[in-house]
């Protein structure tokens, strides 16, 4: 297909964060970190406050500097895997309609979590799984580095300027912006600094995302 100017239409791609964007995992994350904090005799509220804005290894350095970070990470992973098996997960309103409305091969997941947990959560919430998932194990530099989103675009065969990133967190927004992509924020009462558009909920964003993908 070509446009009126004769230029071939360019496929648009949508790259999604997972936790906080498609899956409501706040209660799960808080419960996991509270259990982890209890195991190490730490204040759960303080640990969670730090964990919200740092990656796990950085969290351990701040709240448990005297502990072996590898041991801390192994304990956290154990708790997260158990929560994935037994916890209650909910997809945000509009997530199923949105993902089923996108063409196969035109979207991907870019997460700081691990692929097996994402697949487990999607299976339990009935969300479709795309062909491309860039997880924590796929990159040496996680968000806010642009590397995860650039890798997703590469695996989709997309140019960064043809990609729309859907995020809820500042680190993810910075990652998408650093990759040279359009970034929309969802599921927050106040817009994250830098987003090109802001929606208070994923549901509100659904028709606009589908319109972008079909343009």
Catalytically active residues are 17, 19
Q: In this structure, are residues 129 and 122 in contact, taking their beta carbons and an 8 Å threshold? A: yes
Give CA–CA dist 202/52, Å, rounded.
20
Q: Is 167 exposed, middle or buried (0-12, 13-18, 19+ CB in 10 A)?
A: buried
How does strand 23-24 pair with strand 90-91?
antiparallel
Bridge partners of residue 13, in order along the sequence: 163
Element (H, E) at 6: none
Contacts of 212 (CB under 8 A, 6+ apart): 12, 14, 164, 182
């Amino acid at each position: 297909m070509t446009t009126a100017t004769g230029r071939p239409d360019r496929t648009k791609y949508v790259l999604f964060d997972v936790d906080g964007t498609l899956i409501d995992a706040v209660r799960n994350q808080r419960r996991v970190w509270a259990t982890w904090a209890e195991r190490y005799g730490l204040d759960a509220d303080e640990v969670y406050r730090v964990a919200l804005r740092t990656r796990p290894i950085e969290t351990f350095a701040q709240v448990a500097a005297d502990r072996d970070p590898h041991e801390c990470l192994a304990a956290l992973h154990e708790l997260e895997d158990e929560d994935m098996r037994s916890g209650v997960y909910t997809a945000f309103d509009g997530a199923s309609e949105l993902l089923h409305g996108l063409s196969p091969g035109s979207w991907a997941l870019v997460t700081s979590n691990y692929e097996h947990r994402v697949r487990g959560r999607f299976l339990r919430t009935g969300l479709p799984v795309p062909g491309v998932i860039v997880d924590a194990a796929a990159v040496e530099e996680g968000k806010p580095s642009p590397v995860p989103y650039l890798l997703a675009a590469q695996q989709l065969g997309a140019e960064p300027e043809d990609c729309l990133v859907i995020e809820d967190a500042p680190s993810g927004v910075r990652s998408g912006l650093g990759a040279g992509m359009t970034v929309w924020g969802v599921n927050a009462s106040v817009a994250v600094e830098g987003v090109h558009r802001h929606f208070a909920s994923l549901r509100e964003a659904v028709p606009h995302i589908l319109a972008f993908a079909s343009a």
